[in-house]
Amino acid sequence: MLSIFDNINYQDGVIMGYILTEAGKKKVDEKLPQGCNCSEIARESGLYRTTVSRIIDRNYGVRLGSLEDFFSYFDLKLEETDYQELKNNENTTTINTGESKQPQNTNPSQNPEVQKYVKRPLIEEQLYESLLFTNSILRIKAPKKMGKTILINQVLEQVKMKKKYQTVSISFQEADNSHLSELNELLRWLYANVSNQLNIKDKLELPPKLNEWDNLTKTFGSKMTCTNYFEKYLLQKLNNSLFLCLDNLELLFLNENIYQDFLGMLRSWNDKASRNSLWQKLRVVISYAPNTDTKINPNQSPFNIGTAIELPEFNLEEVQQLAEIYQLNLDNSQVRELMNMVEGHPYLVRLTIDSLKTRNDMTFEKILETAPTKDGIYHSPHLQEYLAILKQHSDLAEVFLSIIKGNYLGNIENHAIKTLINLGLVKYQDGKILVRCKLYRLYFENYLGDI
């Protein structure tokens, strides 16, 4: 199995936790039963499996409290000689022992988002292998704020490390309104951005000037002009595969005239790859929040081909991992309380942990107490945006309230239900339609009561 993103980098000089010294490791080794695994110890000690693994392998820092709990499980007393600080200095992770510092390899990226990334190996593996070993479109689908962009960035960073691949990442959030309102402008903007990221002038023959684009579109149309540009001036000149990631695709759904043609063009590129080896160089990743109202001919749709990846919520172990990345002292009961309020919603979990770390006026108890109110950290802009949508669409609000109160008798094929699922307000689980988390139930029960 491929192992990627094995190291997480942190800010210079920041204590990244504590690891066992050789003396501490020796004590543990003497107590470890033969054949015992991390899962068994985690289950019996109340720690998380990743925490146990990090303590035993000494490859990541953990909270001092976790070391104390780990030693207590083996009826050992943690002494100062048993542990040491793990620090980061420049691009090298070092162990602060008071002696010579021993370097360990770290991820060279200095991106703050990378530093706070929670590894999700099974999903990363699926995404990575789909990119490398299939020629079809790869679709990453999830409601907003579920971590699609950061996941893609992690995998593309890994792809970049392999010199035979080139990557281009386009976010439609960066497009102007004028680009999103007319197909010709959108495709011209897309091609200009791809060319710019590939540094066409330095690495490839210069394609026809973009000011000639409009003349060509009069004869061939926008889609054919864009397709010809990719075929004749990109794919033909590139020696290696090109990974093209199109993020925030849902912004195109606002204009039917655009998304029908644009999505049809992507489907045609995929069809070309089945009979033209040149187009097999192109791997397309589309990331989007689904929209129930998007209608497209199945034979022209990219949404029914390739590999689809839907992002789940964080599990308990991943929430604990994020808390440890922030060096935040959350015990197991607090993590469970947080999960009880927000489930494992990545954005809500990150917002909670970040608020605890950066705001002196916030305590864990205060965050949970004020969570479903307008004074809570989740109100603006997250809950406020949902509230505005529901107030504009009373039919959605009525169905949502019926689910909150346990009175919904319809089925999953209902248009309103599909919309609420796509928004991320409800989920389909074990044959039932449920409110995504306790926070949503309490908040909207209170603020939607007058609709």
Tens of pLDDT, residues 247-256: 999 999 989 9
> Which of 288, 310, 332 is at the close of a domain?
310
d(CA 360, CA 356): 8
Phi and psi angles of residue 83, each rounded to the nearest 5 degrees, phi first: -140, 165
- Whether 147 and 295 map to the same domain: the answer is yes
pLDDT (0 to 100) of residue 233: 82
CA–CA gap between residue 139 and residue 304 (Å, rounded): 9
Collapsing DSSP to helix, strand or coil, 148 comes out as helix
Residue-wise burial string across 96-131, b where 16 or more C-beta atoms lie within 10 A, e elsewhere: eeeeeeeeeebbebeeeebbbbbbbeebbeebbebb
- Of 310, 332, 348, which residue sits at a domain end? 310
Q: For the chain, list residues with pLDDT below 50.
A: 1-15, 88-111, 202-206
How confident is the model at residue 39, as a pLDDT?
67
Same domain, 135 and 231: yes
- Please tell me the distance from the alpha carbon of residue 429 to that of residue 218, in angstroms, as a whole number: 51
pLDDT value, residue 42: 75
Tracing tokens 């495709």 back to the chain, one arrives at: 187
Examine the fold and report which residue of 108, 143, 178 is the final residue of a domain before the chain moves on.
108
Residue 2: per-residue pLDDT = 29
Domain harbouring 70, CATH code? 1.10.260
Q: Are residues 220 and 76 in the same domain?
A: no
Q: What is the CATH number of the domain that holds 170?
A: 3.40.50.300
Give the global pTM.
0.73
Over the stretch 254-265, which tens digit does the pLDDT of each residue have?
899 899 999 999
pLDDT for 115 equals 58
Furthest C-alpha separation in the chain? 80
- Measure the CA–CA gap between 210 and 141, rounded to whole angstroms: 33
Looking at the 3D structure of the chain, how many domains does it have?
4
The parent domain of residue 416 ranges over 380-447
- Looking at residue 451, its pLDDT comes to 63
- Phi, psi at 168, each rounded to 5°: -135, 130
